[in-house]
Amino acid sequence: MQESLSGSSFGSSSPAPKGRRFASAVIDLLIVPILLGVVMGLLLLKVPEVVRNVILILVNIAWLIFRDAVYSPGRAMVGLKLVSLTGGKPTVAQAFIRNILIIIPFVLVTGYLSELTRVFVSKSLTARRIIYVLLLLLTLFFFPAAFASREIIAILGVLGAFVVPGIFLVLDRVSSSENSRLMDDYAKTQVVSA
């Protein structure tokens, strides 16, 4: 049985170490999106700002799904890979589920901070919950400015940023010994050493 598992994409590797996961995240979630944003921004200089912003959001969403379903340069550089726990490569649906809480620009910051908390404070559920509550409280400071602006996009953005730590507070119920992101549990995926 072990031999048949070692040939599969989900039985042969151990959970990825935190340091290498962080290095791959810096590349995949910071460097590549900035480069994509600069290139696309330059290509779309003549396009109206609203259209340009929508295209940049769609490019970001496409990148997050592509890096999980097809190829991640950050993971490749540090010797990691994303595997589906159901067998085979992760699907587009799994990539979407895995990134749902960081895919929307408004919730990006609280989504990233919540996922980083889940991975790097993996041993203590209590400590993670304290951080989620602090993130909830932090977003409350932005409510007055958002509502004062009367811009629907600002109001929705702050509400979204507020909801994400609340989702983590409710759904993150176990101590994570495998350093997994919360949405890895729902997508049935795991980052492992290649």
Q: What does the domain layout of the chain look like in residue ranges? A: 2-193
Q: Which residue has the tokens 């950050």?
A: 74
- C-alpha span between 193 and 176 (Å, rounded): 17
Q: Which pTM value belongs to this model?
A: 0.79
Residue 154 has a pLDDT of: 81
pLDDT digits (tens, 9 = 90+) for 92-114: 999 999 998 888 777 778 888 89
Q: Do 183 and 97 touch, CB atoms closer than 8 A?
A: yes
Q: List the chain residues with pLDDT less than 50.
A: 1-11
- Rounded to the nearest 5°, which phi and psi values hold at 192? -130, 165
